[in-house]
Amino acid sequence: MTGKRKITGARIFDGIDWHDGCALLIEAGHVKGIVASGASGDAETIDARGLLLVPGFIDLQVNGGGGALLNEEPTLDGIRQICAAHAKFGTTALLPTLITDTREIRTKSIEAGVAARAAAVPGFLGLHLEGPHLSVARKGAHDPALIRPMEDADLTEMLACVNALGSLMVTVAPENTTKEQVRALADAGIVVSLGHTDVGFETACAYAKAGARTVTHLFNAMSGLGHREPGVVGAALATGTLHAGIIADGFHVDPASMGIALRGKRGPAQIFLVTDAMSPIGTDMTSFFLNGREILRKDGRLTLADGTLAGADIDMLSSVRFVHEKLGLPMEEAIRMASAYPADVMGIASHKGRLLPGTDADFVLLTPELGMKSTWIGGERVFAA
């Protein structure tokens, strides 16, 4: 961890601008700076000629990977497996995400998250609890029998674990969560995301004022944008303080709607990429189980028996490629959607999401065509293609 390293020869994107003819200097796991290539010193030199060096990807919604699903394996090993699987696709920080489940599984997941933080599992950023305080009307693949209102004990449990976890995001629906609860969560530094909700524009805006910071998988499992009722989608686009995660696999949201949302989003909050990935990522699994229900993997989709989409079969690098190649976004903006913007959502921009002096040396080396070469977390190579 103490080593000085110098990555030379790559085009470097620091999250803001490109740097040509420069080297990335790393010391003790952090970025020391981006310097003219010639300067040498005692650093170990890594030749990255012809490659792109970009900030590591940050995925705020990851249910599983490498064969492990947090709901089914709420353990330290399960989290290790998920983080390692996504590192192969450029993700250097992620929130293992628990889909609505029983109280016991939630408590076990929180304990596993606390253990992962204590063990400094590479890539572990914190947890995302998606549910159970959602709307049955917009349940998606969540088991309606497990959806329920937020009680005092739920709030207490979440407030008690945020510091030990490092970061915590919770997806809630106003139908089963009060504004006062949202305020209490936000005041404690928990990132509240509105999702799986059928409320209208006014209510969504009121919850944003109460402290909600983002919305969960924009367009999916929420009231849509109508001409007289702008819905949660309208609230997310029209409210400058609300960020919005989006799944860029081409199945969850039509590329035309994605383009409209990106052009219509009011800042400074931004639309960012999430994978919503499940256990099969990085494996050849063709099915798996969630709360005892079988989910099938076919042709890039994951579905319940009735055809309901149940998470996504996409990794973060493919998501970046999708918005760059299919939507025509400039490469740097596609990369920001996977790194700088999610860091902003979580309030961790001072150390992750960009490669600036003092930030964590979390980065990815890619070919100019956005092919995978290697992934680095805290200045250490954790994956090489």
Looking at residue 365, its amino acid is: L
The verdict on whether residue 130 carries a ligand-binding annotation is yes
Nearest to 222 by CA among 172, 177, 275, 272: 172
221 belongs to an annotated ligand binding site = yes
State yes or no: is 14 an active-site residue: no
Which token pair is 90?
């450029």
Other Cβ atoms closer than 10 A to 326? 13
Contact (Cβ atoms closer than 8 angstroms) between residue 359 and residue 350:
yes
311 assigned ligand-binding residue: yes
Q: Is 351 annotated in some ligand binding site?
A: no
Check the annotation: does 333 bind a ligand.
no
369 is an annotated ligand-binding site residue: no
What does 286-350 look like in DSSP terms, one character per residue?
-EEEETTEEEEEETTEEE-TT--EEEE---HHHHHHIIIIIS---HHHHHHHHTHHHHHHHT-TT
Q: Rounded to an integer, what distance in angstroms lies between the CA atom of residue 199 and that of residue 109?
A: 29
- CA 138 to each of CA 236, 300, 306: distance values in angstroms, whole numbers, following the listed order: 17, 23, 15
Report how far residue 51's alpha carbon sits from residue 370's, in angstroms, rounded to the nearest whole number.
9
Nearest to 272 by CA among 238, 242, 251: 242
Q: Judge whether 282 is annotated as a binding position.
A: no
State the catalytic residue, choosing from 14, 101, 154, 276: 276
Distance from C-alpha of 364 to C-alpha of 351, rounded to nearest angstrom: 16
**Is 312 among the annotated ligand-binding positions?**
no
Distance between CA atoms of 268 and 246, rounded to whole angstroms?
17
**Cα 149 from Cα 131, distance rounded (Å):** 10
Is there a binding annotation on residue 65? no
CA 370 to chain centre: 19
213 vs 378: CA distance, rounded Å: 28
* DSSP 8-state class, residue 56: P
Q: Is 217 annotated as a binding residue?
A: yes
Residue 309 among known ligand-binding residues? yes
DSSP-assigned letter for residue 176: G
Which active-site residues does the annotation give? 276
Q: Which residues are annotated as a binding site for Zn(2+)?
A: 130, 196, 217
Q: Which residues are annotated as a binding site?
A: 130, 141, 196, 217, 220-221, 228, 252, 309-311
Q: Which residues are annotated as a binding site for substrate?
A: 141, 220-221, 228, 252, 309-311
